[in-house]
């Protein structure tokens, strides 16, 4: 038998088949579409055939049969329309409430899905999944080593100033600059690393692909701009969005508590309103968390001036990072939490208002201008939210969101730091 050359009417895949039938329904190994006879194979050459008049149904793309059967198993739904490679179903009844299970089954077949409410209807969008890019394992390691180096140098700078204050006022304390520098670097890296690994664990729990943490080295008096983790696949549910949003700040905050307490106990206190005689000094702004620690845990005198040990500065930086990440804007940690409760348009305008508010707050701290611009830029890209926005948020996640709000209030630092002299 002469082998026929067939071409898929959906994806254009072409191959030779032991058949001469004009149409092979659902025979495409790539997409499951119908394949039509376009020629014959013989002696390495194709013999052209007359164009085939296709049946009426062989026009728009179709989902593979196994995908359709999976949808029917989880939903009472009917296909409304096809928009390119996106298949839109109207859902009349939901049989499986665990959307992450639905997503997992479809992803095995190369598809993702989104469950949305539109004009009083529940719609299911099914579309091809995107293959994630492979992680570059060397880049995060290089950034980690660089950040260790910059935080060590920053810690040494802070330690030298701290020791100078001890000598100036004749106060007891640790006078080894490299020991203080190492303590600063280890404490700060522990807070930032735990924050990002909290995100990584939450992502793994919900089968969300995410990179390893990228630490950001920066040659300033802190040595870093923090760390980030990049999510490489959509958030499945609003519960998952809240989990990913709160996991990092809560994990980092829990590590920052003992670091801050230890650092404050190592700090020096000068009674009265004394200030150092040096020409320039870095002043760190207060937040409610540090005020409570100083008053009820470490018991500093109310009229004293506190010279923070580098470890205390590491704890303070960890609290500031927690506060900035919990700002409920764009795609920050707090933005994911807020987006779980707000629609896409409402969250966009909320982000816009927060960005403009930060610009207005730049009279307190010039850094707010940079953060305001950053938030506005991220806000312009939007936050698509979770794939499933039709299912309710669980009571446990409502409690987690409340915990995030409390941490945000405790860590809020309107004027983080400034330089005098």
- Pair 124, 143 in one domain: no
Q: Give, for all 421 residues of the chain, the pLDDT tens digit.
A: 456 776 766 666 778 877 766 566 667 777 666 665 666 665 444 444 444 444 444 456 789 999 999 999 999 999 999 888 889 999 999 999 999 999 999 999 999 999 999 888 999 999 998 877 787 889 999 999 999 999 999 999 999 999 998 898 888 888 999 999 999 999 999 999 999 999 999 999 999 999 989 999 998 889 999 999 988 888 999 999 999 999 999 999 999 999 999 999 999 888 765 555 555 678 899 999 999 999 899 988 877 788 899 999 999 999 999 999 999 999 999 999 999 999 989 999 999 999 999 999 999 999 999 999 999 999 998 888 999 999 999 999 999 999 999 999 999 999 998 887 6
d(CA 153, CA 144): 14
Same domain for 355 and 415?
A: yes
pLDDT of residue 20: 61
Give the domain-ending residue among 99, 128, 157.
128
Pairwise CA distance, residues 311 & 299, whole Å: 18
**Residue 263: inside a domain:** yes
What is the distance between the alpha carbons of residues 68 and 79, in angstroms, rounded to a whole number? 10
21 plus 170 within the same structural domain:
no
Asked if residue 177 and residue 39 are part of one domain, the reply reads: no
| Per-residue DSSP letter, 330 | T
Q: For residue 172, what are the domain limits?
A: 138-420
Give yes or no: residues 309 and 397 share one domain: yes
Cα gap 20→82, rounded to integer Å: 31
| Terminal Cα-to-Cα distance of the chain (whole angstroms) | 93
Q: Same structural domain for residues 247 and 339?
A: yes
Cα–Cα distance between 218 and 179 in angstroms, integer?
21
Report yes or no on whether pTM surpasses 0.85.
Answer: no
Burial (CB count <10 Å: 0-12, 13-18, 19+), residue 112: middle
224 within 8 A of 215, measured Cβ to Cβ:
yes
What is residue 142's predicted lDDT score, i.e. its pLDDT?
A: 95
Into how many domains does the chain fold?
3
Secondary structure class of 304 (helix, strand, coil):
coil
Same domain, 297 and 332: yes
Give buried/exposed letters for 260-296 (b at 16+ CB in 10 A, else e): bbbbbebbbbbeeeeebeeeeeeebbebebbeebbee
Nearest to 390 by CA among 57, 87, 13, 119: 119
Contact present, 173 and 308 (Cβ < 8 Å): no
- Is 54 a domain residue? no
Please tell me whether residues 12 and 107 are part of one structural domain: no
User: Is the residue at 416 inside a domain?
Assistant: yes
pLDDT number for residue 58 = 46
How far does Cα 276 stand from its chain's mean position? Answer: 42
Q: Are residues 44 and 97 in the same domain?
A: no
53 belongs to a structural domain: no
pLDDT recorded at residue 118: 87
Both 282 and 407 in a single domain?
Answer: yes
Residue 59, in any domain of the structure: no
Q: Are residues 85 and 194 in the same domain?
A: no
pLDDT for position 360: 96
Q: Which residues contact 176 (CB under 8 A, 6 or more apart)?
A: 159
């Amino acid at each position: 038998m002469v082998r026929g050359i067939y071409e898929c009417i959906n994806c254009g895949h072409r191959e030779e088949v032991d058949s001469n039938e004009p149409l092979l329904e659902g025979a495409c190994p790539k997409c499951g579409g119908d394949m039509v006879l376009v020629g014959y194979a013989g002696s390495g050459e194709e013999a052209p055939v007359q164009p085939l008049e296709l049946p009426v149904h062989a026009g728009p793309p179709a989902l593979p049969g196994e995908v359709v059967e999976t949808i029917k198993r989880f939903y009472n739904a009917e296909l409304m329309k096809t928009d390119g490679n996106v298949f839109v179903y109207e859902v009349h009844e939901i049989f499986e409430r665990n959307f992450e299970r639905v997503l997992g089954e479809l992803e095995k077949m190369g598809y993702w899905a989104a469950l949305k409410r539109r004009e009083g209807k529940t719609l299911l969008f099914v579309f091809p999944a995107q293959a994630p890019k492979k992680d570059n394992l060397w880049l995060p390691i290089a950034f980690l080593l660089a950040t260790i180096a910059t935080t060590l140098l920053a810690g040494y700078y802070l330690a030298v100033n701290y020791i100078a204050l001890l000598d100036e006022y004749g106060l007891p304390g640790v006078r080894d600059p490299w020991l203080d520098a190492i303590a600063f670097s280890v404490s700060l890296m522990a807070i930032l690393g735990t924050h990002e690994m909290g995100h990584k664990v939450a992502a793994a729990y919900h089968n969300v692909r995410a990179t390893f943490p990228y630490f950001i080295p920066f040659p300033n008096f802190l040595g870093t701009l923090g760390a980030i983790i990049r999510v490489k696949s959509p958030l499945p549910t609003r519960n998952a969005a809240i989990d990913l949003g709160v996991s990092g700040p809560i994990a980092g905050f829990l590590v920052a508590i003992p670091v801050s307490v230890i650092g404050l106990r190592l700090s020096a206190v000068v009674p009265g309103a004394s200030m150092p005689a040096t020409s320039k000094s870095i002043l760190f702004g207060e937040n409610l968390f540090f005020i409570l620690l100083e008053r009820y845990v470490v018991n500093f005198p109310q009229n004293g001036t506190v010279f923070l040990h580098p470890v205390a500065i590491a704890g303070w930086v960890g609290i500031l990072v927690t506060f900035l990440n919990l700002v409920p804007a764009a795609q920050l940690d707090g933005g994911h939490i807020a987006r779980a409760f707000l629609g896409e348009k409402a969250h966009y305008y909320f982000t816009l208002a927060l960005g403009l508010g930060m610009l207005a707050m730049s009279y307190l701290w010039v850094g707010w201008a940079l953060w305001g611009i950053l938030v506005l830029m991220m806000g312009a890209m939007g936050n698509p939210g979770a794939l499933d926005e039709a299912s309710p948020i669980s009571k446990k996640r409502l409690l987690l969101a409340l915990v995030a709000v409390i941490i945000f209030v405790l860590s809020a630092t309107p004027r983080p730091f400034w330089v005098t002299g």
